[in-house]
Structure 1
Amino acid sequence: MNEITDLKQLDPKESYTYADYLKWKFKESVELIKGKIMEMPPAPTRFHQRISMKLTSEFLNVFDNHQCQLYAAPFDVRFPDKDGKIKTVVQPDLCVICDQNKLDERGCLGAPDLVVEILSPGNIKKEMKDKYELYQDKYIGIQPVAEGEIVTSVVFPMLSFSTERLYDL
């Protein structure tokens, strides 16, 4: 494969691997889901970033000085398929990993213990269809969150907070 410096050089109908992904030299951010390229928005909105920061603060209250570690995007989470090939690489907004053996210099290999995806107008289809299906395959429960709810993690009951002020800018 020639050096890939522009996303347009790739065929969206082709199937790609993490090895391919690591060689790409273009500026766009992408994820791979089952070998298919999923282009990410150029930069998250201000609203998205505020929510991310507020969630990070809530999560750090629980996971700072804890055996489990919190990571924020951009952070590669790779899912190997049955034959060991990695054709799925995503960058959740936040993720918590307790098994230190899953961590390496490139990110996480295997399912994190907890994943958070923040929905924005530009990413709803990808997040709700493609990633939802991926996460549904890897996790016991998926819990959409609405404004004004009290959220308590099933996996980490000590992680509980109100979403009431989460959406305040």
Structure 2
Amino acid sequence: METKKPETVNEREAEYGMYSYADYLTWPIDEVVELIKGIRFKKAAAAPKRIHQRVSLKLATKLFTFLEGKKCQVYDAPFDVRFLKGSKEDHKIHDVVQPDICVICDPEKLDERGCLGAPDLIVEILSPGNNKTELKHKYKLYESHGVREYWIIHPENQNLMIYTLVNGSYVPSRLLTSGDVVQSDVLEGFVLDLEDFFKDIE
């Protein structure tokens, strides 16, 4: 009779999605981890590339300036976003991510630990270590939980894709790059000239 090989932790996680926000809160503070459907996604231990940080800081600053005095608020990573499926209890929350930038227009979703519910706009800035997670797992997560607008920025290629939620499904823009002027459907009046935005980022 063949003896079944013991499961590894990764195999159990992939099959069962065993973790919750309650578990997440017990992990070391210097370990950057996200949860999607109860499965751990550990981010790279090294800091993001300098170009990633330049893009993040510049865009977050533009959003902060635009939103000053308005109801919507912008936050950049590290900032926990917890997605709900009914219960608000920590042990029943299985989706916790740290988007590079997010905008929340409902102040009721904000608490001392971050955002509880879907932000209105999320920006993810790609780096070599996170492309698969951003393009596959987070896309489905954000769409299913009703994030109204999802931006994916590729800093090295200096381009941008925008996914806008229409009747519960994301509709993609064309690939936006230098020469394009981007307007947000969620943040009325916010305009981003990509040529101007990327001109001093390298």
TM-score normalised by L of structure 2: 0.73
Structure 1 residues 62 and 26 mapped into 2: Cα distance closer, same or farther (>3 Å)? Answer: closer
Q: Which has the higher contact order (CA 8 A, sep 6+)?
A: 1
User: CA deviation digits over 1:54-99, x for unaligned, max 9?
Assistant: 1012212211221111111000000022455210000011111111
Give the match for residue 85 of structure 2: 81
Give the match for residue 191 of structure 2: 160
What is the root-mean-square deviation in Å for CA atoms of aligned residues?
1.8
Give SS of 1:166's match.
helix
Q: Among 139, 145, 158, which residue is 2:147 paired with?
A: 139
Question: When you count strand as a share of all residues, which structure comes out higher?
Answer: 2
Alignment coverage as a number of residue pairs: 160
Give SS of 2:9's match.
coil
Q: Please report how far the alpha carbon of residue 166 of structure 1 lies from its aligned counterpart in structure 2 after TM superposition.
A: 3.4
1:120, 1:27 → 2: CA distance? 20
User: Structure 2 regions of 5+ residues with no counterpart?
Assistant: 1-7, 153-159, 161-175
2:44, 2:197 → 1: CA distance? 22
Give the match for residue 168 of structure 2: none
Identity %: 49
TM-score normalised by L of structure 1: 0.86
Equivalent AA in structure 1 for residue 136 of structure 2:
K
Who wins on radius of gyration, i.e. which is larger?
Answer: 2
